[in-house]
Amino acid sequence: MKIYDVAIIGAGVTGTSIARELARYKLDVALLEKEEEPAFGVSKSNSGIIHPGIQNSPGSIKGRLCVQGNLLIRSLSKELNIDFKESGELIVAFNEEETRELLRLKKEAEILGVPGLKIVDKTWLRQNEPNLNTGVVTALYAPTAGIISPYRLVYGLAENAVRNGVEIFTETKVEDIIYSKPNFEIFSSKGLFRSMYVINSAGLFADEISKMLGVDYFRIRPRKGEEFILDKKKENMVHHLILPLPSKTSKGVLIIKTSDGNPMIGPTAEDIEDKEDLSTSDSGFNKVLFSARRLIPSINDKDIIAYFAGLRPVAGDDFIIKHEDKAPGFINVAGIQSPGLTASPAIALLVTNILKDNDLVLKKKFIFHAHRKKTIHLFQSPLLKAKKLIRKDPSYGDIVCRCEMVSAKEIRDAVKRGAKTMDGVKFRTRAQAGRCHGSFCTARIMKILAEERKIPITSVTKRGKGSEVIKEGRFCFPAPKA
Amino acid sequence: MAAGLSAHENGVKDILLIERDRYLGGILNQCIHTGFGINYFKEALTGPEYAGRFIEKVKNVPDIEVSLKSIAVKLTSDRTVTFLKPGRLETVKAKAVIMATGCREKTREMVHIQGSRPAGIFSAGGAQKLINIEGLLPGKEVVIVGSGDIGLIMARRFVMEGAKVSAIIEIQKETRGLLRNMVQCVEDFEIPVYFNHKISRIFGDSRVEKVSVIKVDDNLNEIPGSLFEINCDTILMSVGLIPENELIDMAGVRIEGTRTSVPGIFVCGNSFKIYDIVDAVTEDSFLAGKLAANYITNQ
């Protein structure tokens, strides 16, 4: 039986970043994921902000990794051909006292090495953010803040890791791990895996994985955040990320211009117990709307087309990234909440170094395919480009999702690249993510999924087993052509 | 189709009909119940039959060119339309443009229902398409939110397909749908309707498992102590329709009075305003066709 050099548990942005980094070396790497697809846990509800590194205490691991990650994400996004927009962020102050607080933040961030910070005044704000509340007197401007699609980052990392030899096992839930000299034995819902090193990037369940090896000094507490997405019509409502002054537990409710153009408002921050509770609430909605209107008073709740909740895996104030001497060969990468996405490329480097320090031999592969082919999104293409695409492949002109302008070609490509579920298609292409919420395109997407995956249409799921979209086929098998 | 036919009758000789689906008739094709055309044809037709009669008429007018599987993506105020179709992206400039883009259904997100987001939540029209066009039954135990006409019609349709419709939940004190649908689709099938009630939460991780329902007063305030639960695997949303005129918005054109703020751009049918019956949509579209023809003649 194959013994892997490294097994990584959890295919979120942390796990896939580590997998992709380790793929540079002559190693056998297995990435185990309990869900049907990568990014289906904590990462799927990430807001996609690439933080500049403000608001972390100067001595923290996450502060250092955030600043480093903000730099690294630029070259990484180029290699993986994922759009990264350096939009810049504004932390706003409503009075002099808050302005003093901004100066304090600026000073702290400069110690961490955040570049380009400056305080901007009312005139600047009026010119650059005309929809901002006129009560805002100053803002801390951080030019290096940016935005990326969290799903496309994870899928880009996962695809590129696989291209370079990493094996990803989905629907593979780790049930127990023991150390049985000279390697770990990982018992999963898909059978036994053996590995010399184990990396725990299991997000909300990192404490449970860690406990399996007797390392139980931390607990993951889910902190819920509800987010609300506005119609793409409101694309130009803001030009920067807009943040209020942070509170102790969170960065507050922000206005985010997502990488797809839709503005998003949120999140809430509520400590809860249940790691599966992704429900949204009226109180969350009211709170977010109230707080967001304090920044941009013109926000209309009729423009909200979607909402969701995500859970941040909180383990104290800082990230836990360390080799556990109690279980040699076992590395915890836990409590990766905000700014985890930004820090992820830096986390991957840190973990690689920890492995090296613990005697894993790292030899560079002769060939490492750093680059990934760009995925095409019609909605991001100017009309002239769209015309060329359609001439090259007619099915780019065959629109399946009318609200977000997604063609049959893009959906087929997404399935070929690994989408297995309706959510997987949505995260990769934005089909069903628009104002009609899939009312018009669900049937067509189901048919494409069934056709490409060669499964009956009744087996098509929203996000894995148990979430089949329909209960029964009535008249015809196989499904009519998509 | 009605607008095109009317424009032709009023003297327009060169008409392009852009349709995003692979057949003409739009949403009528999935409305296999009867009741269409009582005013216009003086008989009760099914949706596909009603559409079929217009398709025949359009076929017989060579001056109307039909472009199927074609989605208009851009409209500008100088009456230029850009559309995509398999293999082609085309831009056409017209003397007059009539927007007959219909409407879409309000979603669960627009009425802010709390709870989880599992599989099994459909718009009533989306479920109608799955059953009537695709031959797929979305669920076996259904709760319908709202008493719009599509919801009422789908209540009957689910029962006829062997599913159980546990409840129709309507926040207002009376139905939003037509009386005839209340009688023929709900009362005749003994489907329980809860007026002055709303869904307070959706439960279920992978698939819908149940909903909790609460009574509200006439001002829509929740009445404490009235909460109860209904088991179901499917939720249909039938809480209203919205005219679909994103292209008009993008062009900076406003809908006003009878038509729009830009001469030569007209809106008709459900994209102009939501009508209860197709005969009224048809009548409105005939008018728009005539207005467009007159506009061209007077230029």
**Domain ranges across chain B:** 2-102+244-298, 105-237
User: Residues A20-40: pLDDT tens digits?
Assistant: 999 999 999 999 999 999 999
The model's confidence at residue B3, banded by pLDDT at 50, 70 and 90, is: very high
User: Residues B169-192: pLDDT tens digits?
Assistant: 999 999 989 999 999 999 999 999
3-state helix vs strand vs coil in chain A, percent to 5: 35, 25, 40
Give me the total of CB pairs closer than 8 Å, taking one residue from chain A and one from chain B.
140
At A310, the amino acid letter reads: G
Q: Within 13 Å of residue B39, how many CA atoms lie on the same side as its CB? A: 8
The reply to whether A371 belongs to the active site is no
DSSP reduced 3-state for A118 = strand
Q: Which of A439, A442, A465 sits opposite B104 (nearest CB)?
A: A439
Q: Which of B246, B18, B216, B259 is nearest to A303 (CA)?
A: B246
Q: Which CATH superfamily is domain B2-102+244-298 in?
A: FAD/NAD(P)-binding domain (3.50.50.60)
Q: Of 1.10.1040.10, 2.40.160.40, 3.50.50.60, 1.20.120.160, which CATH number belongs to A1-84+147-218+317-374? A: 3.50.50.60
Report the alpha-carbon distance of residue A242 to residue A252 in Å, rounded: 10
Listed by start position, the domains of chain A span 1-84+147-218+317-374, 85-146+221-314, 379-459
DSSP reduced 3-state for A199 = strand
Copy the structure tokens of residue B70. Answer: 């074609």
Predicted confidence at residue A76, as pLDDT, reads 98
Position B124 pLDDT exceeds 70: yes
Predicted confidence at residue B54, as pLDDT, reads 98
Predicted confidence at residue A248, as pLDDT, reads 67
Rg (CA), chain B: 21
DSSP reduced 3-state for B105 = strand
Beta strands B80-85 and B88-93, pairing class: antiparallel
Position A475 pLDDT exceeds 70: no
User: Residues A174-224: pLDDT tens digits?
Assistant: 999 999 999 999 999 999 999 999 999 999 999 999 999 999 999 999 999
Report the alpha-carbon distance of residue A1 to residue A183 in Å, rounded: 12
- Residue B189 has φ and ψ, to the nearest 5°, of -110, 10
State ipTM. Answer: 0.94
Residue of B nearest to A404 (CA): B73
| Residues of chain A contacting residue B207, judged by C-beta atoms under 8 Å apart | 466-468
Over pLDDT 90: what percentage of chain A? 88
What topology is assigned to B105-237 in CATH?
A: FAD/NAD(P)-binding domain (3.50.50)
What are the CA-CA distances from residue A408 to residues B31, B82, B127 (Å)? 25, 19, 21
User: Residues B145-177: pLDDT tens digits?
Assistant: 999 999 999 999 999 999 999 999 999 999 989
Q: Which of B141, B237, B203 is nearest to A280 (CA)?
A: B203
- CATH code given to domain A379-459: 1.10.10.1100
The model's confidence at residue A471, banded by pLDDT at 50, 70 and 90, is: confident
Predicted confidence at residue A481, as pLDDT, reads 59
Name the minimum distance, in Å, from the CA of A353 to any CA of chain B: 39
Position A343 pLDDT exceeds 70: yes
What are the CA-CA distances from residue A315 to residues A55, A177, A207, B255 (Å)? 18, 21, 9, 54
| Residues of chain B contacting residue A399, judged by C-beta atoms under 8 Å apart | 20, 71, 84
- Residue A178 has φ and ψ, to the nearest 5°, of -130, 155
Predicted confidence at residue B287, as pLDDT, reads 95
Predicted confidence at residue B257, as pLDDT, reads 62
Domains A1-84+147-218+317-374 and A379-459 share a fold: no
User: Residues B218-274: pLDDT tens digits?
Assistant: 999 999 999 999 999 999 999 999 999 889 988 888 887 667 888 999 999 999 999
| Residues of chain B contacting residue A36, judged by C-beta atoms under 8 Å apart | none
Name the minimum distance, in Å, from the CA of B281 to any CA of chain A: 21
- CATH code given to domain A85-146+221-314: 3.30.9.10
User: Residues A283-328: pLDDT tens digits?
Assistant: 999 999 999 999 999 999 888 988 999 999 999 999 999 999 999 9
User: Residues A379-425: pLDDT tens digits?
Assistant: 888 888 999 999 999 999 999 999 999 999 999 999 999 999 999 99
| Residues of chain B contacting residue A443, judged by C-beta atoms under 8 Å apart | 126, 129-130, 133-134, 136
Domains B2-102+244-298 and B105-237 share a fold: yes
Task: Name the one residue in this structure whose structure tokens are 């049930």.
Answer: A175
What average pLDDT does the structure give for chain A?
94
The residue ranking higher by pLDDT, A261 or B37, is B37
User: Residues B204-222: pLDDT tens digits?
Assistant: 999 999 999 999 999 999 9
* Mean pLDDT on A122-142: 96
Position B140 pLDDT exceeds 70: yes
Predicted confidence at residue A335, as pLDDT, reads 97
The model carries a pTM of 0.94
Predicted confidence at residue B285, as pLDDT, reads 96
Residue of A nearest to B246 (CA): A233
